[in-house]
Every structure is written in structure tokens, then in C-alpha cells.
Homo-oligomer: A and B are copies of this chain.
Amino acid sequence: MARFETIRLAHGSGGRLSADLIRDVFVAAFANGPLAALTDAAVVDNPGGRLAIATDSHAVHPWRFPGGDIGRLAVAGTVNDLAVMGAQPRYLSAAFILEEGFRLDHLAEVARSMKATADEVGIVIVAGDTKVVERGKGDGIFINTTGVGFVPQGRDIGPHRLAAGDELLVNGTLGDHGLAVLAARQGLDAGPELRSDVAPLHGLVAALLEAVPEVRFMRDLTRGGLAAVANEMVTDRPFGVRLRDADLPLSADVAAMSEMLGIDPLLVANEGKLIVAVPPDRAEAALDALRAHPLGRGAARVGDLVEQPAGRAVVETAYGSHRLLEMPVEEQLPRIC
């Protein structure tokens, strides 16, 4: 390790430098038995229940931003994909594509951030891989994480359970992650309050499901923001999403920056926010459960599923008019996750 300050092609060769890198950076940071065995595949206990599998590659630029970094993002993103399906996150793989010249101390920082986030969750990084590409054929660091979780017997959460009348909630302010990354990338002075919301939501979800097992559907609001998820929920379904503009939580910083840049914050990525659908008589209980958790203090009831217009998402303004919330088509903010 001490011999080199930056990644060389040989760190991906499968030879001695690969072995040094794995031992000195990844095994050192991730410290656990199945990984340290360095076998081709980790062999681990199977606690039973249905399996949930989620994968996400992360190419966020810059790799460090206010409120987080690519390591925390890579763990939290996949954990959240498992959690919203009602799964208990358990095992994680981590695969790195590094560009020649990436700094080793930065890589070690990312690995420590991954481990710290994994420890928050209680998920274990059991398998890994490192590839190195030549300078100019990558962009510093890309990370894939794939997570395995277990869905307890009898739990059934998903889009098939959505029905007209369901109430919709979110767990806090929207658009923070995307705008914080954009500000970092462009060197905009966005104020000290604008930070990514990146966080693992497994604990919030567990508390919610404990209080309200009737939850029908959850999804984290990543690329494409609330607009993409709202449209995915209703496309080709016999109901639509109706959101109340005045109830959608936005921080003052996000509201101001969105206004200034002409960006709709409902299309902006979040990394610690989810939407929840519950039967109407459980909406207050769900709101209480979310607000009782540190990651849900800003939770709000934001709308419902309506019979008309079916297949569409609309936002109702304070004046009673409606605007169509369309599925985003083009990229507003590339490389946001």
C-alpha cells in the first residue's frame, strides 16, 4: 500500500498488487469472516423466508458531496431497495471499477464510509471485486452493490396491492440529494443547510411496519424523484395519483435553488426518502410512526390514489387547479447516483 499513492492497472491484475489492495483496503475496512476468506463466492447462513435481491451501480459525480459520499450512497441505496420490499437486509456484495490514478487514500475513505453505513444497518459485506481501467476509460470510482435480504413469512408489499383510496405519505423534504450533488459539482454556493439526505431507511421501515402492518406499497424516491415513482405507480392501472402541492415538504434551500435553476424539485433524486401507500384508516397511524423516527420527523400526508384520472399523476394547487406531473423524459441531472 505504502508503495503507491494512486491506483495502477496492476491493482486489477489478479496478481500481488490486487491481493495487497484487497487486504490493505477492503478486508481491513470491511473486516468480516466470509469476506476475509477470499473465496470465489461467500458461503453464508440462510435464515429462511423468501429472498429479496436488489442491485445498483453508483457513478455519482463528484464522489464526495455535502452530506455523504459514493460509499454511503452505494450501501444505503441498495439497502433501501430491499427495505421498501419489506425485506430485512442481510448480505451485500461490493464491486469496484477504478480508474487508473484514483487516489488510494480516497479509496480507503470510501471503504470506511461503506463499512460505517453497513454497520448502521447490520448488513455484512460478504463478497467483493475490483477492476481497474486505464486513465480516461472511467471516472475515478464506480461501485456496484448487490444486496440480499429476507422477507418474513406472510409479508406482502408491492404495487399489486395498491388500490384507489389509498393514502400517500413521504418521510420528509424532497430534492435534497440531487441539488446538493449538483451544487457540489458546479461549485454553487447553496448554503450550509443544503445537504444530501442519503441514509439507510431499514430502521424507519421496520418501525413503520411494526406499527402499521397494513402498508401496501413503499418505494424510495431516487432517480426521477417523486415524479418518476408517482407515474410508475399508476401507469396502466385503474387509478391515478393526486398530490397536494401545499403538503409536499420542501426545504427553503431546495425551494430557492429549484426556483433559481428552473428545476422542478419533484423530478429531483432523493437518497433517504420514500413514498408509502396505506389504507385511509391507517394514514394517521403511519404518519405517527414515521414522525417518531429520526429519519421521518418531516413526514407528511401528501395525497391519495384516485379513480380519475386513471394512469396519471396530478398535483393539486392551493387554488384547486391541477397540473399533470409527467414522467421525466430527458436527463435533468446526470450522474446523481
Residue of B with least CB distance to A45? B50
User: What 1/0 mask marks residues of chain A from 188 to 203 whose CB sits below 8 Å from any chain B CB?
Assistant: 0000000000000000
B contact residues around A13 at 8 Å (CB): 223-224, 328, 330-332, 334
In the complex, the answer to whether A95 meets B137 with C-beta atoms within 8 Å is no
In the complex, the answer to whether B16 meets A55 with C-beta atoms within 8 Å is no
- The answer to whether A327 has its CB under 8 Å from any CB of chain B is yes
- The answer to whether A2 has its CB under 8 Å from any CB of chain B is no
Q: Which of A124-132, A250-258, A288-296 contacts B (4 or more CB under 8 A)?
A: A124-132
In the complex, the answer to whether B15 meets A228 with C-beta atoms within 8 Å is yes
In the complex, the answer to whether A132 meets B46 with C-beta atoms within 8 Å is no
- The answer to whether A164 has its CB under 8 Å from any CB of chain B is no
A46 in contact with B48 given A15-B329, A97-B97, A330-B17 (CB within 8 Å): yes
Tell me, rounded to whole Å, the shortest Cβ–Cβ distance linking A294 to chain B. Answer: 22
In the complex, the answer to whether B127 meets A53 with C-beta atoms within 8 Å is yes
A95 in contact with B131 given A50-B44, A327-B16, A330-B13 (CB within 8 Å): no
Residue of B with least CB distance to A221? B14
- The answer to whether A117 has its CB under 8 Å from any CB of chain B is no
Near B by CB (< 8 A), chain A positions 189-238 give 219-220, 222-225, 228, 232
In the complex, the answer to whether B223 meets A334 with C-beta atoms within 8 Å is no
- The answer to whether A281 has its CB under 8 Å from any CB of chain B is no
In the complex, the answer to whether A220 meets B40 with C-beta atoms within 8 Å is yes
Residue of B with least CB distance to A90? B51
Near B by CB (< 8 A), chain A positions 1-28 give 8-10, 12-19
In the complex, the answer to whether A146 meets B50 with C-beta atoms within 8 Å is no
In the complex, the answer to whether A51 meets B43 with C-beta atoms within 8 Å is yes
- The answer to whether A183 has its CB under 8 Å from any CB of chain B is no
Q: Which of A81-89, A103-111, A168-176 contacts B (4 or more CB under 8 A)?
A: A81-89
A224 is contacted by which of B18, B96, B223, B332 (Cβ under 8 Å)? B18
A95 in contact with B224 given A53-B44, A54-B41 (CB within 8 Å): no
In the complex, the answer to whether B9 meets A331 with C-beta atoms within 8 Å is yes
User: What 1/0 mask marks residues of chain A from 246 to 266 whose CB sits below 8 Å from any chain B CB?
Assistant: 000000000000000000000
A residues in contact (CB < 8 Å) with B: 8-10, 12-19, 37-46, 48-59, 61, 80-82, 84-85, 87, 91, 93-97, 126-129, 131-134, 136-139, 142, 144, 146-151, 158-159, 219-220, 222-225, 228, 232, 267, 269, 327-332, 334-335, 337
A-B contact pairs, 18 of them (CB 8 A): A10-B330, A14-B223, A15-B224, A15-B328, A18-B223, A19-B232, A37-B158, A39-B85, A39-B159, A40-B82, A43-B50, A43-B85, A43-B151, A44-B51, A56-B129, A61-B137, A133-B335, A134-B335
